Structure 1
Amino acid sequence: MSMDFAAVRQNLFPASHGAIGDWLAFHWHRDRTNRIQAHKVHSSQAIAIDVFGTLKVSIDRDLVLDAIARRVGVAPGGPWSLTLEWTDPDRLLGEPRPTQVDALAVGSNAALVIECKFTEPGGKCSQTAKSRSGEAQCNGSYTDQVNPHSGMRSRCTLAGKGIRYWEFIPEVFSLNPAGDYAPCPFAGEAYQWMRNAVLAAAIGKHRNLQAAAIAAFADHPNFPTARKAKRSLIDPSLGHPAAITPISYQEIIDIARQVGLDQELWTKLSAWLDEKIARASSRSTKGVVTIE
């Protein structure tokens, strides 16, 4: 086993290791040098595996996921499957590179699309970033415009590329795809939460299941997503504020301790998370760059 994997294993809750399967084939988050990032204490992938990897292999999986389903307003009912780093094989949103979901839970009645955050904020749409030519593909508004790179006319440059977000947005948000919005309601961090919410809607429609999007986060005042979760991840003026439900890792562990049978497991995981969050918080106050 490489030094990378030795360090990664040390940074993962021991009970979660069995959820990985093939460590070489697993979709690890990597940096620009291709080094696996999950060995770092503030890795969002590592803390996601801590919690959802442990849940995946736990005897309490169905009980806990039933409770989470009720918490987010969809129907419980197992048996539940739980997949880490899931990528949509059906390309339901028409993305050239399908969104990789941190965790996907599927039961007999519902599906849960789970985006996991630790010390980092939500991701933003890349279309407003300037290219080497100095031009952005989108002007930052959802209005009729021409993509200077492709010459394609559309309100959303992603829609002009065949990406289907705005086909599902009316099902999730109170927005008219034929209307104009300046600036675009998903120009900032709301972009990532929108993308997960519409993916949940697409999965639900495709599989004939109820579906919900969840933002799992480490609850600490030093972390951007935690601060936003206490207010709202999505602007309430867009309608349907529950389009994506924030649930802290601490709350997930509390749920597991309330309904689960393996109390020793959840007590140990709770202590593991408390220590990891404390260490990551200490690093964030020193200006350490956050990673996903």
Structure 2
Amino acid sequence: MTSDFGAVRENLFSASHGAIADWTAFPWHRDRTNRIQAHKVHSSQAIAIDVFGTLKMSTDRDRIFDAIAERAGVAPGGPWAITLEWTDTNRLLGEPRPTQVDALAVGSKSALVIECKFTEPGGQCSQTTALSSGERQCNGSYADQINPRNGVRAHCALTGKGIRYWEYIPEVFKLDPGADHTPCPFKGDAYQWMRNAVLAAAIGKHRNLEAVAIAAFADHPGFPTAQKVKRGLVDPGYTGRAAVTPISYQQIIAIARQVGIDEELWNRLSAWVDHKIAKAASVHSRKSAIQLREAPGF
């Protein structure tokens, strides 16, 4: 374990280290062998800590989050409190396992629900995955159907399990919950961004704050989320305004340079992040090439 933490520290920007109060208790992302993954150059958790851990510890924190809030269309106003790997212990969405987001920033007027991506795409809904029986709990549409696993009739298999996404979706995405939608508006990785958007709405209601979801991503042409941002994280036809505001790590650091005072810190963080993105892009490119060569019919 000690050797794990040594490798992790080397892969984290030094100014972010203080954001982790207890390195043993921190909810590190782990692989199937329980090994901490933040030592890897392409670790999404590591680059999130690089940036948001540094912001958390910086004396420029309030100025920077005020600027990010304004960019996302919610009210600025500190002091801002930043929690890395925040867990919804209130289970505001009724999920059986509490939602965990990469960072939550809470000011005096607004909250920012921050999901971070590096070289990976967004997560997808599991309800359309085939069961061992070959059946699927959802047919891929938002339409009246019966879940073969539990026998519950609902438009959404998750609603049938008591999960409250569709209590917030109508307002956030301007969708009629009584109408059929074929295919589901949140197929593919739009599902994860929907979850973050409705979680933000739930937090805003619970805390009486303005709230919005932020997609923090590494902007590189070879990375899936960066590509998705250019097409739209969620179909803009489903919402009156952007339900999720994408801001790249590079843009966040540019904001820090513009409004912050500690120019030397942000220049160092910029160089660190740029170097990490370049290294991760090289690894990602090699893996993609290997997968292509091994694909059937190549």
Q: TM-score, length-normalised on structure 1? A: 0.97
- 1:30-109 equivalence runs, <5 A: 30-109=30-109
Displacement after TM superposition at 1:228 (Å): 1.2
Aligned residue for 2:212, secondary structure, equals: strand
Q: Does 1:193 align with 2:193?
A: yes
Query: What are the Cα deviations for residues 136-186 of structure 1, in whole angstroms up to 9, with x where unaligned?
Result: 111111111111000111110100000000000011002011111111111
In structure 2, C-alpha distance between the alignment counterparts of 1:127 and 1:17, rounded to whole Å: 38
Indicate the RMSD between aligned Cα atoms, in angstroms.
1.0
Aligned residue for 1:247, secondary structure, equals: strand
Displacement after TM superposition at 1:239 (Å): 2.1
Q: Does 1:234 align with 2:221?
A: no
Structure with more contact order per residue of length (Cα contacts < 8 Å, sep ≥ 6): 1
The residue number in structure 1 matching 2:293 is: none
In structure 1, C-alpha distance between the alignment counterparts of 2:77 and 2:202, rounded to whole Å: 20
Contact 1:215–1:246 under 8 Å retained in 2: yes
In structure 2, C-alpha distance between the alignment counterparts of 1:212 and 1:237, rounded to whole Å: 18
Displacement after TM superposition at 1:31 (Å): 0.9
- 1:1-292 equivalence runs, <5 A: 2-287=2-287
Query: What are the Cα deviations for residues 174-208 of structure 1, in whole angstroms up to 9, with x where unaligned?
Result: 20111111111112110000000000000001111
In structure 2, C-alpha distance between the alignment counterparts of 1:239 and 1:56, rounded to whole Å: 31
Letter in 2 for 1:172: V
In structure 2, C-alpha distance between the alignment counterparts of 1:285 and 1:10, rounded to whole Å: 23
In structure 1, C-alpha distance between the alignment counterparts of 2:67 and 2:174, rounded to whole Å: 28
- Identical residues among aligned pairs (%): 74
Letter in 2 for 1:257: R
Contact 2:44–2:119 under 8 Å retained in 1: yes
In structure 2, C-alpha distance between the alignment counterparts of 1:51 and 1:186, rounded to whole Å: 29
The residue number in structure 1 matching 2:296 is: none
Contact 2:236–2:242 under 8 Å retained in 1: no
Aligned residue for 2:204, secondary structure, equals: helix
Q: TM-score, length-normalised on structure 2? A: 0.95
Letter in 2 for 1:109: K
Query: What are the Cα deviations for residues 40-81 of structure 1, in whole angstroms up to 9, with x where unaligned?
Result: 000000000000000001101101000000111100000000
Structure 1 regions of 5+ residues with no counterpart? none
Aligned residue for 1:258, secondary structure, equals: helix
In structure 2, C-alpha distance between the alignment counterparts of 1:259 and 1:125, rounded to whole Å: 39
Contact 1:235–1:241 under 8 Å retained in 2: no
Displacement after TM superposition at 1:244 (Å): 0.1
Letter in 1 for 2:39: H
Query: What are the Cα deviations for residues 76-122 of structure 1, in whole angstroms up to 9, with x where unaligned?
Result: 00000000000112111000112101000000000000000000111
Query: What are the Cα deviations for residues 200-256 of structure 1, in whole angstroms up to 9, with x where unaligned?
Result: 000001111001100000000010100111221111221235100000000000000
Contact 2:124–2:190 under 8 Å retained in 1: yes
Displacement after TM superposition at 1:133 (Å): 1.5
- Deviating beyond 6 angstroms after TM superposition, the runs of 4 or more aligned structure 1 residues are none
Letter in 2 for 1:21: A
Aligned length: 289
